[in-house]
Structure 1
């Protein structure tokens, strides 16, 4: 199964705005850069991922992860994550992907083992989604679709339940993947409190522990 990972990336100067009370704009930008590097490096360690695609209008993203094998789809305008993913879906289908795995850039505990295990849930199915929720069961922290253009993404409010409803509506098999690591994203001050309890010391968490 050829699975393309898709990482949608916001403009760094617009990301992590909910952390503005404890981190400066420069610190939030640096944190976003480190999260992206950590995510791409982890995806490259996965045996299940054939290619990693970064879709973004952020001009500096390619330079930041320039030492990796990630491919870039450059957006002229930032029209939201769902519009960006439509472009990535089309690219993936045209380049031989059997499935795509959408991974946000802000999952600091992401592991290659979890990615491999999630992807394995889809191997024996011709069409399906495999989904991992956020820790509050409202967001979507990983979404595998097989084939890539099986259904549109719905990364707005309550995306986890929106994706499930959309899959049910078109009678698509749903597989759930629950991982404590993958379910913890970094978007709010409460998320930081949770992550600071972890013993892992990767790039983004080391930066936070040295900054706060």
Structure 2
């Protein structure tokens, strides 16, 4: 098995803009960096993952990824088109031998290596697509294609249903991975408050500068 994990990351100063009324630019940047660090820590400890590929326009993000021996891809798209970046990263991974591809957004503060391992296990028998929805079953917080050939991405509002429709149309066996840890991504003030309820230590370990505002 040659499984690659692709992590798309917005520039640190641009991510989590919907938290602007709650956090300053500097605090959002600190939060985004903490989430990136957490994602790389988790993925680097999952033995089933052969390589991690980080795609971003942010030099600090790419430099941090290389510290974890990740492959990096600099996004040249000024429109910040997530799905276009993912297709480019997908092509690069396949060109370097990827047989399976996992896409993991870098804003999942509760995931652990065990969670990722459990998701991967659901795709052991091809042809499979495993999808982890967000807590509203609207967005996609984890997506794995086995085999990688034929993979397509449609992230954004309503992506859960779009990914399901694509998989069914193209003959993938669909596995939905329901997980509280995968379900919580950080986009809104409500998400941030939920994180503080579930794991207040997150702010002490990873994002101490923003703890006073939650």
Question: Would the alpha carbon gap of residues 207 and 132 (structure 1) be closer, same or farther in structure 2, given more than 3 Å must change?
Answer: farther
Preserved CA contact (<8 Å) 2:111 2:181: yes
Query: Runs of at least 4 residues of structure 1 off by over 3 A?
Result: 202-208
Aligned counterparts, 1:1-212, within 5 A:
1-79=1-79, 80-125=81-126, 127-199=127-199, 201-202=201-202, 203-204=205-206, 206-212=208-214
TM-score by length of 2: 0.92
| 8 Å CA contact retained: 2:128, 2:146 | yes
Give the secondary-structure state (helix, strand or coil) at the position aligned to 2:73: strand
* 1:4 to partner: Cα distance: 0.5
Distance 1:67 1:73 in 2: 14
Partners of 1:192 and 1:205 lie apart in 2 by 12
**CA shift at 1:65, angstroms?**
3.9
The Cα shift of 1:67 comes to: 2.6
CA distance in structure 1 between the partners assigned to 2:78 and 2:123 by the alignment: 31
Aligned length: 211
Deviation at 1:193, TM superposition (A): 1.2
Following superposition, the deviation at residue 2 of structure 1 comes to: 1.6
C-alpha displacement of 1:206: 4.3
Q: What SS is found at the alignment partner of 1:124?
A: coil
Greater mean deviation of Cα atoms: 58-67 or 85-94: 58-67
Give the RMSD, CA atoms, in angstroms: 1.6
Once residues 75 and 121 of structure 1 are traced to their aligned partners in structure 2, the CA distance between those partners, rounded to angstroms, is 31
In structure 1, distance between residues paired with 2:149 and 2:188 = 31
* Structure 2 SS opposite 1:96: coil
Unaligned runs of 5+ in 2: none
Shift of residue 172 of structure 1? 1.4
Query: 3-state DSSP class of the match of 2:105?
Result: coil
Paired residues of 1:108 and 1:204 also in contact (CA < 8 A): no
Q: Deviation of residue 207 (structure 1)?
A: 4.6
- Partners of 2:28 and 2:199 in 1: how far apart? 22
Residue 99 of structure 1 contacts residue 146 of structure 1 at CA under 8 Å; is this kept in 2?
Answer: yes
Compare the two structures and name the one with the higher helix fraction: 2
